[in-house]
């Protein structure tokens, strides 16, 4: 049988009787697939494997504990042979052909009236692949296509909506610090299914260019001190678009639940009867320092960290170099924040690092101390988006001045003084 002789189609077997002849692992696997399709399965075999017995004992299928008989085909819509004995499979296939019943012959795919494809499900899409009678090849192709759908490399977006009165949904997606490669697989997949994207100024903006031409992008980006679209209006947009039946994605930078007001948006959606999903993202508070080689915790230097905005009160933050402080949206208040931490007892020689545009081509790192960083930032023109890291962990950064690197903070010899070679 050539692949050109195959007419691909899909069978709806819900509630319809089907027959599986054979009791081994292949029969169990095929029976499970037929049960998943909603078929009423009867197995005919003198013996049954453990997996098949488990289905029998669960009451999911009927088992006739004997050899096959031609009358077993009476009233059947579909047959699967899997006895492992070519003569028996061939007889079943011949009997099925005589009664014009579609039959998959596991012993001889060339002579089989039907082929079973390699199948995977992603969302409400079912992938079925035939590969010229080569099951391993078919499975490899199936897995590759499924992975591409899962990761958003292939489009899952619906073009025919379920119904005029159907309600849409909202996904609050954390897009990470801006590099398109740092959005999660789930976030990328949902973005590819969106009808409407409500986008922030930060986050993976490059992914917007990959959207289909008819996907609407609503810009609601904020800058420090300038909020052209108030939060209440953003909430209203999300609900209004979802109630029109659209799949709405709220694409944010970082993580929607880390100083991103995602909780407010999710609550407003639920209050208005809109289904909402929250997809966590790679928060800038941790990832942007990492882009400059700064861990927020490190053995021998810091066991904990606090994340605050530059607008918040810092008096309750531990004022110790071994407790990392991460400031988000803190450039405008940097001088005041440094003074507040110093007033709480944090030493003026505590290292401070500022990472602008983390992971982007124009990333810039400025490193100083609590006492000097405000002047340094003004001198070089530090601007948002930027993450400020305060604490001894800054010493680990490859961008730190040589005199900051006073010790070898490895896991083997923590706090051992470095041996200078020059």
Give the residue numbers annotated as catalytic, written as ranges. 200, 222
| Nearest-angstrom CA–CA distance, 316 and 319 | 8
CB 284 within 8 A of CB 179: no
Q: How many angstroms separate the CA atoms of 48 and 26, rounded?
A: 11
Q: Which residue in 46, 37, 49, 39 sits closest to 19, CA to CA?
A: 39
Q: Which DSSP symbol is given to 223?
A: B
Closest CA to 207 of 222, 190, 188, 226: 188
Both tokens of 329, joined, read 């949206």
CB 19 within 8 A of CB 72: yes
- DSSP count for the chain of H helices, then E strands: 10, 19
Q: Closest Cα partner for 216 from 246, 260, 184, 172?
A: 246
d(CA 342, CA 371): 8
What is the β-pairing status of strands 216-219 and 125-129?
unpaired
Instruction: Identify the DSSP state of 301.
Output: T
HEC letters along 9-36? CCCCCCCCEEEEECCCHHHHHHHHHHHH
Q: Which of 361, 360, 346, 362 is nearest to 394 (CA)?
A: 346
155-175 burial string, b = 16+ CB within 10 Å, else e?
ebbeeeeeeeeeebbbbbbbb
> Strand locations in 302-349, DSSP E?
304-309, 323-328
Residues 6 or more apart in contact with residue 181 via CB below 8 angstroms: none
| Cα separation, 397 vs 390, whole angstroms | 12
Residue 311 DSSP one-character state: T
Using an 8 Å Cβ cutoff, are 418 and 406 in contact?
yes
Closest by CA position to 284, among listed 129, 161, 194, 388: 388
């Amino acid at each position: 049988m050539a692949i050109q002789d195959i007419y691909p189609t899909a069978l709806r077997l819900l509630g319809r009787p089907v027959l599986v002849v054979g009791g081994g692992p292949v029969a169990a696997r095929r029976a499970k697939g037929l049960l998943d399709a909603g078929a009423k399965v009867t197995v005919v075999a003198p013996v049954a494997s453990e997996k098949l017995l488990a289905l029998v004992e669960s009451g999911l299928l009927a088992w006739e504990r004997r050899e096959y008989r031609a009358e077993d085909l009476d009233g059947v819509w579909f047959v699967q042979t899997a006895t492992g004995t070519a003569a028996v499979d061939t007889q079943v296939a011949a009997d099925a052909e005589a009664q014009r019943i579609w039959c998959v012959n596991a012993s001889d795919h060339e002579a089989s009236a039907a082929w079973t494809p390699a199948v995977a499900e992603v969302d409400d899409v079912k992938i079925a692949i035939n590969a010229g009678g080569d099951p391993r090849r078919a499975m490899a192709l199936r897995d590759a296509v499924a992975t591409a759908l899962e990761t958003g490399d292939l489009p899952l977006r619906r073009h025919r909506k379920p119904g005029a009165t159907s309600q849409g949904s909202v996904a609050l997606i954390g897009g990470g610090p801006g590099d398109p490669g740092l959005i999660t697989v789930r976030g990328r997949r949902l973005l590819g299914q969106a009808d409407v994207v409500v986008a922030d100024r930060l986050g993976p903006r490059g992914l917007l260019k990959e959207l289909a031409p008819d996907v609407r992008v609503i810009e609601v980006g904020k800058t420090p001190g300038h909020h052209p679209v108030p939060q209440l209006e953003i909430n209203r947009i999300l609900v209004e678009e979802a109630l029109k039946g659209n799949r709405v994605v709220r694409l944010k930078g970082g993580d929607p639940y880390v100083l991103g007001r995602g909780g407010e948006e999710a609550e407003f959606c639920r209050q208005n009867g809109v289904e909402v999903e929250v997809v966590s993202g790679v928060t800038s508070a941790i990832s942007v320092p990492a882009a400059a080689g700064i861990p927020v915790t490190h053995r021998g230097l810091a066991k904990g960290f606090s994340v605050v905005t530059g607008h918040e009160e810092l008096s309750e933050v531990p004022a110790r170099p071994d407790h990392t402080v991460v400031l988000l949206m803190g450039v405008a208040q940097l001088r005041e924040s440094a003074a507040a931490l110093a007033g709480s007892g944090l030493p003026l020689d505590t290292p401070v690092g500022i990472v602008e545009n983390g992971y982007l081509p124009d990333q810039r790192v400025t490193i100083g101390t609590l006492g000097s960083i405000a002047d340094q930032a003004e001198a070089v023109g530090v601007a948002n988006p930027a993450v400020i890291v305060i604490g001894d962990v800054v010493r680990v950064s490859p961008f730190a001045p040589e005199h900051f690197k006073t010790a070898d903070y490895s896991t083997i010899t923590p706090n051992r003084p470095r041996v200078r070679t020059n």
